[in-house]
Amino acid sequence: MSNQSELAQLASVFSGSALSNRNMVINGGMTVAQRSSSATGVSASTYVACDRFYTVINSLGTYTVSQASDSPSGFASSLKYECTTADASPAAADYFVFQYRMEGQDVQRIAKGTSEANPITLSFWVKSNVTGTYSMYLRDIDNNRGVGANYAISSSGVWEYKTVTIPADTTGALDNNNDLSLSLEWWLGSGTDYSSGTMPTTWGTENTADRNAGSTVNVGDTIGNYFQITGVQLEIGDTSTAFEHELYSVTLQKCMRYFQRYEPLQLKGTMATGSNFGRNGAILPVEMRSTPTITLTSIGTSGHNQLYDGLSTYTFTGTIGGNYSNSKIVELDGTVTTSTTGGRPAIWYNNSDYKTRFDLSAEL
């Protein structure tokens, strides 16, 4: 092989077309939005719009949160916050921040808390009509430690690329399990309880007042203010590389570890003979992080949770989540409105008038 060919191969590897699985952030390109592409009236902490990004609000405005098509070249989507009810004078304990939360077993490569701990680099694209100094903060939940940085948005309404290098930390090993260990935070506004300290650029014991220190902005202070982000990547090393794009189907499967929505979920089971009891279950297509919380929502013109056994329809009024649910299987037990006539299999009923939506959540 010629030297020229070898150099060409190396250039291809480091251009971002190879070195897969280096990004520790799932859905950093904001391509997956299982819950909905947009939600209005958001004023409290919730998962909404783009998967894996958690909106955290305490008495600091109301927002429309959406998966926007406006994005920098090479991306199709961004996560957008737009203020619809303003709060220009937040109280000391108020805050507006969004987070990306990571399992301990997914960040062991950082080797945090060892003599071989690695620096990590966060990179992302941002756009806002609110210029000034913003804060990002990384929390070590296992050891109550934190580190952060300030970055500037210089031009209103222009996509800007940001990188933040986080130093290695030889103190505080991360738990090797499926619980929350690290949380990335992007601050969009707060009261003095979160901003009156000093932004720590090296790891240390977490101080609440440091988490938004140095910020000069409040995206929630004026109706129409907005903030957008995409291309979020967290990787080993002190240099950012090209964003690791992956197939939509791959990102979707990763997101389904934490959340799955079905309209309806095809639960199958048996209606007990001569009683008002039913048990239904399903094997999930993607194993979830833990046993999910199951939420049923009745939608449609009649709005019933109904089961159908081939002959009759029964309204379900039972327990959401039975004794046998786990990360691989969901099962529902409970009563129905009328006694069944036999032990026939039954499925959830769905047509233009009746639909039951199942939300399965195993978020961190």
pLDDT at 10: 45
Residue 349: the pLDDT is 62
Beta-carbon contacts of residue 26 (< 8 Å; ≥ 6 apart)? 51, 52, 251, 254, 255
Q: Which residue intervals of the chain are DSSP H helices?
A: 3-12, 248-255
**77-80 long-range contacts, CB within 8 A, separation 24+:** 77/29, 77/30, 77/31, 77/33, 77/50, 77/230, 78/30, 78/125, 78/127, 78/228, 78/229, 78/230, 79/30, 79/49, 79/50, 79/53, 79/228, 79/229, 79/230, 80/226, 80/227, 80/228
pTM: 0.91
Q: Is 129 exposed, middle or buried (0-12, 13-18, 19+ CB in 10 A)?
A: middle
Residues with Cβ < 8 Å from 333, sequence gap 6 or more? Answer: 277, 278, 279, 318, 319, 322, 323
With a cut of 70, list the residues of the chain below it in pLDDT: 1-19, 265-278, 300-305, 309, 318, 334, 336-354
Supply the pLDDT for residue 304.
Answer: 57
Separation of alpha carbons 42 and 64, rounded Å: 6
Amino acid at 168: A
The C-alpha torsion from 102 through 122 and 229 to 30, rounded to 10°, is -50
Confidence (pLDDT) at 311: 73
Q: How far apart are CA 364 and CA 320, in angstroms?
A: 20
Taking alpha carbons only, the member of 117, 112, 23, 39 closest to residue 80 is 39
Dist CA 28 CA 227 (whole Å): 16
Report the pLDDT value the prediction gives residue 15, as an integer from 0 to 100: 44
- Measured CA distances, 159 to 70, 188, 227, 230, 359 (Å): 10, 17, 10, 10, 34
- What per-residue confidence (pLDDT) applies to 313? 72
Number of Cβ within 10 Å of residue 184's Cβ equals 22
Residue type, 337: T
pLDDT of residue 269: 65
Amino acid 66: pLDDT:
98
SS3 267: coil
Largest alpha-carbon pair distance within the chain? 80
Q: How far apart are the first and last CA of the chain?
A: 49
For 280, 311, 317, 320, 334, the CA distances from 344, given in Å and listed in that order, are: 11, 9, 19, 21, 16
The contacts of residue 306 (CB under 8 Å, 6+ apart) are 313, 314, 315, 316, 348, 349, 354, 356
